Amino acid sequence: MSRPELLMPGRMQKNVNDALDAKFTVHRLYDAKDPAALLAEVAPRIQAVAVGGAVDAALIDKLPALEIVASFGVGYDLVDAKYAATKGIIVTNTPDVLTEEVADTALGLLLMTVRELSASERYLRAGKWPTANYPLSGSLRDRTVGIVGLGRIGKAIAHRLEAFGVPVVYHNRRPAEDVSYKYYADLTEMAGAVDTLLSVLPGGASTEKVINRAVLDALGPRGVLINIGRGTVVDEAELIKALQEKRIAAAGLDVFEKEPQVPAELIALENAVLLPHVGSASVFTRDAMGQRVIDNLTAWLDGKPPLSPVSETPFTGWKK
């Protein structure tokens, strides 16, 4: 019996490649001399896609036999899951396995920004310490953090902040049932009530640029913005102006509007700490994420429920 055929548009890590090669006939677009020609040849036979990037409606329409898209990452805003659902196509992602790593990174980024740890390291490396001590930094001791998006990762961050003795409030579309933190239905109102915003929001049309000038102005001149979710949720141009004009104090960003491109104006700012989207980028966690991609595809192959279908997916029980 021939093996199911799987499309891999972009590079994936070794554990994913090895496992899928053992179970599928894998067509790697990124290795093809003529990707368009390869896609045209194999498209009618593709039943599965393993991807770390975009799967839009146009690609879905080219794959008439497609049954499942296994996305690498908890965020899947680059996959048109709603359109896939209209075609009866399962979309899966990799939640849970990266929660703790991203929460750790968020706390590290918060400390780097508020305590100016990366700036003080640059100060030492520049040979300035013998001349004068580094200026006193801010502290977490007198701050309240407003978490924007209290899902799995947001709750893990809040748990860490509690251990640090930092008060937490949050904004979601609706109140969470299993927490006691104060809830704000209005993001701008919450920004005005705290001095630190920490965004874990996913991307997509519903969250695009929700952290705008009004939110930043409400946060105020002592305010700090941390973004560990998606770059598109922040109006980047307005953030740059707010930092330049000291309408907020600082920002710590692991994500950007048009990754991997980062505006030169943002890079030039001393009051911005910038990371190249490394929230889940440890060997341990990326291996676990890769294994979830494998497990979702293996479950589909065996006629079993996928481990982590996204909310839009039509899955109610797979019947081969």
Residue in the structure block whose two tokens are 């192959």: 301
| Distance separating alpha carbons of residues 192 and 300, to the nearest angstrom | 47
Identify whether 130 is preceded by a cis peptide bond (ω within 30 of 0). no
Query: Which residue, among 119, 108, 106, has the nearest Cα to 197 in the 3D structure?
Result: 106
Residue in the structure block whose two tokens are 């040979």: 127
Catalytic residue among 41, 121, 189, 259: 259
Look up 67 and say whether it is catalytic.
no
Q: Are 293 and 75 in contact (CB under 8 A)?
A: no
Catalytic residue among 28, 160, 247, 277: 277
CA distance readout (Å), 279 to 99, 214, 241:
9, 27, 25
Query: Which residue, among 226, 261, 225, 285, has the nearest Cα to 102 in the 3D structure?
Result: 285
| Distance separating alpha carbons of residues 307 and 232, to the nearest angstrom | 28
Catalytic residue among 27, 143, 171, 230: 230
Look up 5 and say whether it is catalytic.
no
Look up 259 and say whether it is catalytic.
yes
Query: Which residue, among 149, 150, 127, 148, has the nearest Cα to 194 in the 3D structure?
Result: 148
Which are the catalytic amino acids?
230, 259, 277
